[in-house]
């Protein structure tokens, strides 16, 4: 599966199954996305590769450590290697064919915008859940599919 920024200057590829998504409703993600939430997932480093445009990526980081990497041409938020060094953070809106993935978690619903109505089947977290718990939730469908395939 491939993804790209709005102008196409930055492109990347994902191999293997795509994990499910989370939506973060915190004030920083609202400002970053210009919407009610930011939708993304975490992907193992070895399943991600850049196709082009990596040199055109700029970084913005707040004093608290919140970080955004974006295309220097169109401003689209783009993937970045997470602080754990093992996974890439992938913004869902850049993906061309994320057909099997769904939102399974809503983060920071305790500080969502008053006009935001969180709906759907995803589990709601008042704040940021334990990282390993969130990571497991995003990968639960893939693990189940692999388990079934292993039993066949």
pLDDT digits (tens, 9 = 90+) for 73-118: 999 999 999 999 999 999 999 998 877 889 999 999 999 999 998 8
CATH topology of domain 2-151: 2.170.150
Q: What is the mean pLDDT of residues 57-83?
A: 93
Q: What is the mean pLDDT of residues 122-130?
A: 91
* Residue given tokens 């334990």 in the structure block: 130
* 48 phi and psi angles, rounded to 5 deg: -120, 140
Nearest Cα residue to 20 out of 90, 111, 109, 112: 90
Q: DSSP state, 18?
A: P
pLDDT digits (tens, 9 = 90+) for 1-26: 999 999 999 999 999 899 999 999 99
| Pair of tokens at residue 75 | 């401003």
Nearest Cα residue to 21 out of 97, 100, 79, 87: 100
Overall pTM > 0.95? no
Q: Are 5 and 94 in contact (CB under 8 A)?
A: yes
| Pair of tokens at residue 51 | 């196709």
């Amino acid at each position: 599966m491939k993804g790209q920024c709005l102008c196409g200057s930055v492109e990347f590829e994902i191999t293997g199954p795509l994990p499910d998504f989370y939506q973060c409703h915190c004030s920083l993600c609202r400002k970053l996305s210009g919407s009610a939430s930011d939708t993304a997932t975490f992907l193992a480093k070895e399943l991600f590769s850049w196709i082009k445009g990596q040199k055109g990526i700029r970084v913005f980081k707040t004093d608290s450590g919140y970080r955004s990497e974006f295309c220097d041409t169109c401003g689209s938020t783009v993937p970045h290697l997470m602080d754990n060094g093992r996974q890439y953070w992938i913004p869902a809106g850049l993906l061309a064919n994320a057909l099997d993935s769904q939102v399974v978690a809503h983060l920071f619903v305790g500080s969502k915008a008053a006009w935001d109505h969180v709906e759907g089947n995803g589990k709601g977290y008042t704040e940021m859940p334990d990282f390993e718990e969130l990571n497991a939730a995003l990968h639960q469908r893939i693990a189940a599919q692999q388990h079934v395939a292993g039993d066949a």
